[in-house]
């Protein structure tokens, strides 16, 4: 999803001479900007269509024509990307993720996530890796711990440890966290 969004936005912004966009291309660009800004709070096509002064049906038609994906699919994909990012933060509960994404309750969020990912939010979180990269602040350095809160010995586990972002370095006081 982010790659699609990035490619569309970059293809339009990187040119020195901005070509004249068709009305449909302008609406696509405006929709993507609105989606980027509001996807956590707004999950219905009507919201986006109203801000573009078009009908929800026309918005979906344009998106399907230009991208191959309907407005609902774009919104669902954006929500899934946001959910996956939030679920990578082990300190956030599934309920908190559901709240951040403005789902009515945890159950509704869980059903949505499972419908699109094929697994529950907790199963997704467990599938990320054998280790959750949780870091505890200890006076002058960050100490990595596993998903159970046990500290990970740097010397004996450095080959096996992976940070959330896939980096292979341990994080110390002079480095940014790996997520």
Quick: pLDDT tens for 54-86. 999 999 999 999 999 999 999 999 999 999 999
Alpha-carbon radius of gyration of the chain:
20
- The pair phi, psi for residue 141, each rounded to 5°, is -145, 165
Longest alpha-carbon distance in the chain:
60
| 161 confidence band (pLDDT: 50, 70, 90) | very low
Please, is 136 exposed, middle or buried when counting C-beta atoms within 10 Å of its C-beta (0-12, 13-18, 19+)? exposed
Q: What is the pLDDT of residues 15-42, one digit of tens each?
A: 545 668 899 999 999 999 999 999 999 9
User: Would you say the pTM of this structure is higher than 0.75?
Assistant: no
139: phi > 0 → left, psi -120 to 50 → alpha, else beta; which? Answer: left
Distance in angstroms (rounded) separating the CA atoms of residues 133 and 152? 10
């Amino acid at each position: 999803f982010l790659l699609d969004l990035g490619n569309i936005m970059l293809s339009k912004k990187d040119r020195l001479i901005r070509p004249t966009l068709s009305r449909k291309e302008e609406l696509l660009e405006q929709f993507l900007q609105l989606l980027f800004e509001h996807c956590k709070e707004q999950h219905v096509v009507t919201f986006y269509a109203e801000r573009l002064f078009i009908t929800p049906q026309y918005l979906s038609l344009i998106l399907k024509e230009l991208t191959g994906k309907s407005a609902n699919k774009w919104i669902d994909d954006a929500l899934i990307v946001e959910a996956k990012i939030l679920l990578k933060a082990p300190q956030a509960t599934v309920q908190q993720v559901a709240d951040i994404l403005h789902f009515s309750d945890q159950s509704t969020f869980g059903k949505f996530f499972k419908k699109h990912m094929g697994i529950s939010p907790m199963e997704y979180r467990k599938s990320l890796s054998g280790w959750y990269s949780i870091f505890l602040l200890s006076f002058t350095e960050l100490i990595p711990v596993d998903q159970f809160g046990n500290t990970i010995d740097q010397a004996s586990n450095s080959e096996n440890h992976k940070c959330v972002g896939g980096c292979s370095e341990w994080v110390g006081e002079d480095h940014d966290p790996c997520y």
